[in-house]
Amino acid sequence: MITRNRPRSALHTLDRLAELPERPPVVVVDNGTDRAVGAALRAHPVGARVLAPGRNLGALGRNLAVGHARTPYVAFSDDDSWWRPGALRRAADLLDAHPRLGLLAARSLVGPREREDPLNELLERSPLPPEPGLPGRPVLGFLGCACVVRAKAFLGVGGYHPLLFFGAEETLLAYDLAAAGWGVSYDPSVTAHHHPDPGERPGRTALLRRNALLTAWLRRPAHVALRHTLALATAAARGDAGAATALRGALERAPAAVRRRRRLPPRVEQKVRLLEGYADEDGVSRVRAAAHGSAGKETRT
Give the 3-state secondary structure of residue 116: strand
Nearest 10 degrees: CA dihedral of 229, 235, 241, 245?
0
Query: How many Cβ atoms are within 10 Å of 252's Cβ, its own excluded?
Result: 10
Question: If residue 97 lies in a helix (H) or strand (E), which one and from where to where?
Answer: helix 87-97
Tell me, yes or no, whether 221 lies in a domain.
yes
- Those residues with Cβ within 8 angstroms of residue 281's Cβ, 6 or more apart along the chain or in another chain: none
Tell me, yes or no, whether 8 lies in a domain.
no
Give yes or no for a contact between 64 and 38, defined as CB atoms under 8 angstroms apart: no
Tell me, yes or no, whether 300 lies in a domain.
yes
Tell me, yes or no, whether 56 lies in a domain.
no
Range of the domain at 154: 72-301
Q: Give Cα separations from 153 to 8, 23, 104, 246 (angstroms).
A: 33, 23, 12, 30
Amino acid making up residue 294: S
Total of domains in the chain: 1
Give the 3-state secondary structure of residue 270: helix
Q: What is d(CA 164, CA 210) in angstroms, rounded to the nearest whole number?
A: 8
Amino acid making up residue 28: V
Tell me, yes or no, whether 31 lies in a domain.
no
Tell me, yes or no, whether 234 lies in a domain.
yes
Q: How distant is the alpha carbon of residue 121 from its chain centre? A: 17
- Those residues with Cβ within 8 angstroms of residue 241's Cβ, 6 or more apart along the chain or in another chain: none
Tell me, yes or no, whether 110 lies in a domain.
yes
Tell me, yes or no, whether 203 lies in a domain.
yes
pLDDT for the residue numbered 190: 98
pLDDT for the residue numbered 203: 76
Averaged pLDDT, groups of 10, the chain, 301 residues long: 95 97 97 94 97 95 96 97 98 98 98 95 95 96 97 98 93 98 98 86 86 97 96 97 97 95 97 80 39 38 22
